[in-house]
Amino acid sequence: MGSVCLSSKAALKSGCGLVTAFVPKCGYEIVQIAFSEAMVLTDENEKVLSNINYNFEPDAIGIGMGIGQDVLTEKAFYHFLLNNKTNLVVDADGLNILSKNKKWFSLLPPKTILTPHKKELERLIGTWQSEEEKLEKIIQFSLEHDLVVVVKGAPTLVIFHSEIYQNTTGNQALATAGSGDVLTGIITSLLAQNYDPKNAAILGVYLHGLTADIAAPEMSHQAFVASDIIGYLGKAFLSLEN
Ligand SMILES: NC(=O)C1=CN([C@@H]2O[C@H](COP(=O)(O)OP(=O)(O)OC[C@H]3O[C@@H](n4cnc5c(N)ncnc54)[C@H](OP(=O)(O)O)[C@@H]3O)[C@@H](O)[C@H]2O)[C@@H](O)CC1
Ligand SMILES: Nc1ncnc2c1ncn2[C@@H]1O[C@H](COP(=O)(O)OP(=O)(O)O)[C@@H](O)[C@H]1O
Ligand SMILES: [Mg+2]
């Protein structure tokens, strides 16, 4: 449930106006207490997502963080993809479920943003023997399914069709639990603010890393945790204006 709290708070602190977290019943109090600015809708199921249903049209959706891979959730994810037309960011177990159902790639809206770390990427596109082969496979994957792929790492790359952007911010302070969940919240928020998916990914990755570059000299790499990324977003946005 922590990943939902982190990505929801990151989204609201990246400039979008409203955030609704959709969680199983067990998550209602947790999210509402952890972050009262978020609104919370619950699934009818106590423990897992079994029916992703809501009666409003969000401007963007981030899905996958903390959703697990229960068979009920896999089915709910499929029905969600069948009906969804909203700009989408897919992370974490959302990526892992897609990897187990590769036919569902065709259900993703155009320019859906995927945010895999190395292992999630391997599950999506298979293994590679060299950096060149990895890039070729991602470019093919992006062209075939019209996807923006955020290849999380050091440095992170954003790949859209045959364009490759290499991020210039960030450091080892980001190697901490939940930092990818925070990144998904930031990118989803920018997408909701009408940034083109490719630019939402590029700016989100840049800001995410910039928080660590600003914070590390003030608080060490070791003591930096995912909530500090969120805490330093303000300084990161302000430094863009210089
Ligand atoms: N506070 C919370 O609520 C948090 C909730 N979270 C949620 O947890 C869920 C699972 O997310 P996850 O990424 O930990 O698990 P998953 O993708 O199954 O990877 C497991 C195995 O993959 C490998 N591996 C992982 N990274 C790698 C890398 N960079 N490079 C290379 N290998 C790598 C590694 O395999 P190993 O090396 O051990 O064989 C590892 O054991 C997900 O929904 C997420 O949102 C987390 O965000 C944390 C905070
Ligand atoms: N040494 C590093 N330098 C820069 N960024 C890093 C480093 N290690 C990890 N990161 C970043 O931290 C994030 C980790 O994401 P992820 O593995 O999804 O974390 P989680 O699932 O725990 O939220 C990615 O954005 C990755 O680029
Ligand atoms: Mg992750």
CA 223 to each of CA 103, 153, 156, 180, 228: distance values in angstroms, whole numbers, following the listed order:
42, 20, 22, 17, 9
Give me the residue spans of the domains in the chain: 2-241
Check: CATH 3.40.50.1970 for 2-241?
Answer: no
Question: Annotation-wise, does 152 bind a ligand?
Answer: yes
Q: Which helix (H) or strand (E) holds 5?
A: helix 2-12
- pLDDT of res. 242: 78
Mean pLDDT of the chain: 98
Atom 19 in ligand 2: which residue has the minimum CA distance? Answer: 180
Residue 27 has pLDDT above 90, yes or no: yes
The rounded percent of the chain whose pLDDT value lies above 90 is: 99
Contacts of residue 108, Cβ cutoff 8 Å, sequence gap at least 6: 81, 88, 90, 145, 147
Atom 8 in ligand 1: which residue has the minimum CA distance? Answer: 66
Given the structure tokens 């969940």, which residue do they identify?
Answer: 181
pLDDT in tens, 66-94: 999 999 999 999 999 999 999 999 999 99
Ligand 1 centre from 242 Cα, in Å? 36
CA distance 212 to 226: 10
pLDDT level of residue 241 (50, 70, 90 thresholds)? confident
Dihedral in degrees, nearest 10, Cα atoms 144, 84, 104, 94: 100
Instruction: Concatenate the DSSP letters of all residues of 91-123 into one string.
Output: -HHHHHHHHH-GGGGGGSPTTEEE---HHHHHH
Q: Which atom of ligand 1 is nearest to the CA of 153?
A: 29
ipTM of the complex: 0.95
- pLDDT of res. 16: 97
Residue 14 has pLDDT above 90, yes or no: yes
